Structure 1
């Protein structure tokens, strides 16, 4: 196995002069790089990948060199230690992999166009220019950019452009930064600008396929986010501008390039007059996430990729801190509880999962570190836990000192914990270490034994797990003051339950606020007390009850049979968060029913029973001054009614479709997905398929395109589904960036599962050639494992993927996903009959 060699140990760049000439017609790039740095050895290596090197000079003298493609290296010798200048002439080509320097394709009024952008994280800067492509290798950069420019095109980079000479665009020298944060773009773009109170220029850029007002929301959120962070961090934004650029082709959600943040179009541009509230919240949090990185990640950068969580977990928490301050009526922390917490808890319960802090042993494993449920969601929960323990004053003071001490340099996790520890007077590292360095999390069992409360911790697994007796320092956060703040022991006893119950006047609860990364298993005495009147609790507590019971059922510690009768207690809640949890549980029940059976019909009737009062209350149309909760609840209940084959809902959705069939984009955004799904499922035709597919091709509205994807992949006609799968490799119809969503939709459709499963096994090499090497690639395996549920499919999954276990970057994912499917198959086998009885009895 190839091991990582740190080139920075032998050559430490201080400054780059980069000249890049791009020809879009030939897709060729010519470049020259001058690197001034300090040689620590006379034998040095510089990263390059797929570059045709024509000349290497050291301090003005031509030098022999050796290419080492296996290690992405250019090897050469220098005459002396100390400062040297290395000049390299090279050529390469634009990629079509959405990595390095690549074109994004789009249409305006039927005319095909492209803009050029970059994506250098994790280690793709080496595909654009020779460099020491490691996060620790910070330097300053002078960029000169030439291309086959047309009148009116815009040219963007990390820093402001200072002049144009002979068609070459020259940009100001950057601050000291890592190579993976270098970025530039050019093309026929529109722009909107504003300025922060401190004078930072803010810009949003998109293709002219978008309406100008689709840039307004992103511009406003970006401006206010920068202002918020300057205040919260007590550290000025370090650059003159902050550009936000929407790219038509973009693999990830967004990328925090310093001063030139890049996004998927759907996550920056939106119709301010007709976009659902949950989509606005998503876009706002993504923008706030990337701008949090401008300090945490860009100004201070992880020393090596094993501390990737240091960047991502922190930004994941701060996006919610920022948007909660900017839009308090959204109660955005509820979205954190509905999205981040369950994702982390589900993933982290599979034996073999990575810890938040994980060593990188192989270059190909770097991209595999980007496990969203762990590095982003679980890590953010760790930081939320720390924030709850130390408070905002200590958090801000610690961060200010952290930025001052490490600005323009690199840091490790220990540096952050030390800064927060000094500010709070707490040993933060001791508390957090057990959470960051160990995979998994505990279930805290709470029971009454001889009138004592006994709390114990044990690692929680979904499926088979090897218990190695891990222990955590658990912030218990109980509503009883008599319960300790931190539980570090395996078991603790608190005497006198009955007197404690009488004194406190309410049921005993643990992890109040759901800020800590564990679940609670109450015995019958304590659980019955809690369930006496669930509606009296706040929304987070109600979500937590459902969330913990669902996870315990997935881990086979309780039966889903016992959860089904509880669902009606939550059905009429006016809290959107509770409805999110309710319909998460009901969706999980689908795995227990066989398609086209009485069991499935019973489940559909249960959906109708749970949603009937809500859909009657809310209807299909928003009313003036409608609450945030009602806006966020409506998509759940109309979607439930459509799944439940509710005749009235089907008719109402069809009526709305017919009334708007020539202007589907204008359908109210929060119910548009359900209306389109209903039409395709219940009134589908080849004409409708063609109409929606064409609208998907033509539209630049990301929300609408996602709605069409969800609708078409829910089709029941096998002919239509076959035609859809045949489009998977047609990039003009389904962009590679969107392929996973289309594939997942068809695979999750009982009528399309075989088609999608056959396609990915037959076309794996094409898929690897198209999106392999991208940090999202392994998630194709992840989504398969979320869906397959039979012994037959488990055998087929093993047969196909086990031969790929030796592929770097895939090993952990394949091993984990085999366990995920195994546990689901076993759970269905053991609980199917009892769950279906409970569903029938609940009607």
Structure 2
């Protein structure tokens, strides 16, 4: 039987399973059997095996049997509405589902064993049929493997024959999940009005999320990405609800007064993780007319209020862009996208039925931040790119999931820029991904883009691949390749790759061959030779240039300065100087090698990796560093904007790796007092955050805070008139920096800022429903006002969070509640994450991580997740471990973390925990070596400010 789920207090009564549900189950079984097996003669149920079966394959399915088609019927026994009946003490809700499936497969190698996946399902093998002979085969035994393989093994009396066509029919039962896995239950509220009263009623829906290995939780299947097949789904659901799936409805029929059946058209051949369905009372908004019929589904209130209007419009633009850019049509004539109240990832690219968290799709004019449109557009662009990269052309195995996620991330830059050119955020998106990848890839516990297949076998290991390496590094490596071969050759190669391998599974070399063929000119290096370095090796290099001698060498960049690595890369280097244009060279040796191009003339600086097109860091001799920093302080516009940010990032991270003195990194922030552009400020604030995390519990923090207050003062004043009057700049980049100015100024206790947020929040509290704070500024003002306030401000924010029906507003308030400095309030807030009535399960991890970012909440959060690990490990456990341990910098914390790893079932957080241990070890050493130097530097810089 499936694992019994633990019901939350708020749902314990509502989701109690009635004793009479067994009767409903039998009725459902009869419906299932009648539809699915009416033409079959079923054998008796075989006994469980009494002898040891043949040795099973190790973790991966054998290729002796290949599925071709599934016919699936699923019956979730849930109500979309709770109905209280007279003389019935328990509501009419249950989390039970059952169903049946027939999988048609071909035998490629003689065998009498059928292996497929099944997890937490009660399964009865019904019938194995020889489709060629139209005969029934005897099943002698079957068993579920009690290990991480999730295998269901069925033994036959005789061998299946090579090239034979067979089918396996099964009946299965399971439980609808409360943990946002496989098929899960979600709930929302609906406001109803009559002539007298306004009532708020609870509604329920079910949805699926099967990536990467949860299809086996829904029905027994060959649950590996290269086991593609056609799926035909039938869903039995309550009368009054509406079912959606990957394809359009083929037919629908009423079964009785309670149940109806919806059958969907067959899907194209696809991987099992892409199968999806929802059952709800949602309504739809149509997108503007295009070749594809696009419908956006959401709660009826959200549809009526027009909250799906922005997403519906932008989706059509992006889909049209991709069809033109790839010169290949999207696979269907329709596209459904659903805004779900609960979903574990931000979105999931199910082919033909993309699901999103509400906050990733809904936009409310006058409430949502204008900048939230950037988030919505970027997420939609990512998921639509998957309709080609992942859905039509799929990686062979999860060790190369970057072929899905890296491409979707990279292509989203192009699509967002096309759909919303006024945003001008391509550079921001690129730098965000570059730095996310750099941070994770500088650890010895990182992994290659194309990890060895044997390292990615279990579900936990597969989940560990969905990280910044696959998404962000994948995108950065593709961007570097496009810059090297030229965008035209890159795009032509991609188009040929997609057309040739449509419907297939691929490996990276399939891609490199097409890009190589698209290049017109011969080159020094083949694409496959270059990319071998960047995809099969973990990490990335730092190149060091001596502009006096022209010597240059490369080294594996690692935060752990004592680590030894012999890795080298084939590196395309772009560089410029203050007196010459753009140049290109290759570094193909460890070095040092002498390159005349890098010998600077008198007064000349050299800047390498122009616009950060290469996935590497750059270090220089001290003289060149000083010339670059002088340029930043005197006329920063001479240095490209992306490099103004990247110079800061390189300096700080080289200091963390002990390759430059930490004072050089700090000196790189001096020019910011006169800087108004967003990217340099973002880079400085993000990197100084590491210093704050390491030292905000020590005497270093006082002078550091004073320095930041002094540096940000002019930036804050640059926006002051707009901020005070709750207006914003027209330029999106400046809108981001206005928020940065408020965040840094208030957190460093600039009096004008603290007074501003306090007054604006107090004005809202006084007028209650009249919120005059600009939507762009609400998140940062809410947070800083709660931080500056006490119980009254926190409880006002909590009341607004509970009463708000707008997803964006709730998200901003949820973040603000973590900003209080009152530990007892933070402790209360942590306890709320255990109650889905207060904090939705999908928001629990990010809420705890937000609390852990707060110096007053870090230790509370660490103790809390350990005490409730069984509950929280059902979600994004890896993110939770990394978030809560970011401040760890003592031996005591390291030992606690190691004990946690050794004594806990880590699920999908094992790799993240190893990374957290490594980062803590690096932090301990770095703090020990830099404490005194930092204290001296900040005290010297702020001596005149006291």
TM-score, normalised to structure 1's length? 0.94
Cα–Cα, structure 1 residues 624 and 49, in superposed 2: closer, same or farther, change >3 Å?
closer
- 1:290 is displaced (CA, Å) by 0.7
SS class of match (1:283): helix
Note if contact 1:32-1:88 (Cα within 8 Å) is conserved in structure 2: yes
Residues in 1 aligned to 2:492 and 2:810: alpha-carbon distance in whole angstroms:
44
Partner of residue 641, structure 1? 745
Residues in 1 aligned to 2:482 and 2:779: alpha-carbon distance in whole angstroms:
37
Partner of residue 530, structure 2? 431
Which residue of the other structure, out of 870, 876, 884, is the alignment partner of 1:784? Answer: 884
Partner of residue 671, structure 1? 777
Note if contact 2:242-2:279 (Cα within 8 Å) is conserved in structure 1: yes
Partner of residue 660, structure 2? 558
Which residue of the other structure, out of 335, 344, 347, is the alignment partner of 2:440? Answer: 347
Residues in 2 aligned to 1:728 and 1:386: alpha-carbon distance in whole angstroms:
44
Residues in 2 aligned to 1:729 and 1:799: alpha-carbon distance in whole angstroms:
24
Note if contact 1:747-1:754 (Cα within 8 Å) is conserved in structure 2: yes
Which runs of 5 or more structure 1 residues have no equivalent in the other structure? Answer: none
Cα–Cα, structure 1 residues 352 and 241, in superposed 2: closer, same or farther, change >3 Å?
same
Partner of residue 762, structure 2? 658
Partner of residue 123, structure 2? 53
Residues 731-779 of structure 1: per-residue CA shift (max 9 Å, x gap): 11112211122212222222222221211222223323x43xxxx3222
Residues in 2 aligned to 1:83 and 1:353: alpha-carbon distance in whole angstroms:
44
The answer to whether residue 684 in structure 2 is matched with residue 589 in structure 1 is no
Partner of residue 368, structure 1? 463
Cα–Cα, structure 1 residues 602 and 373, in superposed 2: closer, same or farther, change >3 Å?
same
Give aligned pairs, total.
827
Which residue of the other structure, out of 562, 570, 582, is the alignment partner of 1:473? Answer: 570
Which residue of the other structure, out of 623, 629, 634, is the alignment partner of 1:525? Answer: 623
- 1:592 is displaced (CA, Å) by 4.8
Cα–Cα, structure 1 residues 496 and 435, in superposed 2: closer, same or farther, change >3 Å?
closer
- 1:496 is displaced (CA, Å) by 7.2
Residues in 2 aligned to 1:560 and 1:476: alpha-carbon distance in whole angstroms:
26
Residues in 2 aligned to 1:65 and 1:56: alpha-carbon distance in whole angstroms:
12
Partner of residue 747, structure 1? 852
SS class of match (1:266): helix
Residues in 1 aligned to 2:56 and 2:683: alpha-carbon distance in whole angstroms:
44
The answer to whether residue 248 in structure 2 is matched with residue 160 in structure 1 is yes
Residues in 2 aligned to 1:250 and 1:760: alpha-carbon distance in whole angstroms:
21
Which runs of 5 or more structure 2 residues have no equivalent in the other structure? Answer: 1-54, 79-92, 130-134, 192-199, 255-259
Note if contact 2:610-2:640 (Cα within 8 Å) is conserved in structure 1: no
Partner of residue 836, structure 2? 731
Deviates more, 1:309-318 or 1:31-40: 31-40
Partner of residue 838, structure 1? 937
Which residue of the other structure, out of 716, 733, 754, is the alignment partner of 1:615? Answer: 716
Residues in 2 aligned to 1:405 and 1:823: alpha-carbon distance in whole angstroms:
47
Partner of residue 102, structure 1? 184
**Equivalent residue runs for 1:388-427 within 5 Å:** 388-424=483-519, 427=526
Residues 175-214 of structure 1: per-residue CA shift (max 9 Å, x gap): 11111000010212122112554x1011211123536322
Residues in 2 aligned to 1:277 and 1:732: alpha-carbon distance in whole angstroms:
29
CA RMSD of aligned residues (A): 2.3
- 1:651 is displaced (CA, Å) by 1.6
Cα–Cα, structure 1 residues 371 and 23, in superposed 2: closer, same or farther, change >3 Å?
closer
Residues in 1 aligned to 2:56 and 2:153: alpha-carbon distance in whole angstroms:
17
- 1:429 is displaced (CA, Å) by 1.1
Which residue of the other structure, out of 2, 10, 25, is the alignment partner of 2:64? Answer: 10
- 1:555 is displaced (CA, Å) by 0.8
Residues in 1 aligned to 2:719 and 2:365: alpha-carbon distance in whole angstroms:
22
Note if contact 1:360-1:366 (Cα within 8 Å) is conserved in structure 2: no
SS class of match (1:210): helix
**Equivalent residue runs for 1:18-57 within 5 Å:** 18-24=72-78, 25-40=93-108, 41-57=111-127
Note if contact 1:571-1:579 (Cα within 8 Å) is conserved in structure 2: no
**Equivalent residue runs for 1:822-833 within 5 Å:** 822-833=921-932
TM-score, normalised to structure 2's length? 0.84
SS class of match (1:669): coil
The answer to whether residue 327 in structure 2 is matched with residue 234 in structure 1 is yes
- 1:462 is displaced (CA, Å) by 0.4
Partner of residue 128, structure 1? 218
Residues 581-616 of structure 1: per-residue CA shift (max 9 Å, x gap): 121233233135344x76433222222212211222
- 1:624 is displaced (CA, Å) by 7.0
Residues in 1 aligned to 2:168 and 2:152: alpha-carbon distance in whole angstroms:
12
SS class of match (1:334): helix
Cα–Cα, structure 1 residues 571 and 692, in superposed 2: closer, same or farther, change >3 Å?
same
- Which structure is higher in RCO with an 8 Å CA cutoff and minimum separation 6? 1
The answer to whether residue 351 in structure 2 is matched with residue 258 in structure 1 is yes
Note if contact 2:443-2:560 (Cα within 8 Å) is conserved in structure 1: yes
- 1:145 is displaced (CA, Å) by 0.9
Note if contact 1:65-1:74 (Cα within 8 Å) is conserved in structure 2: no
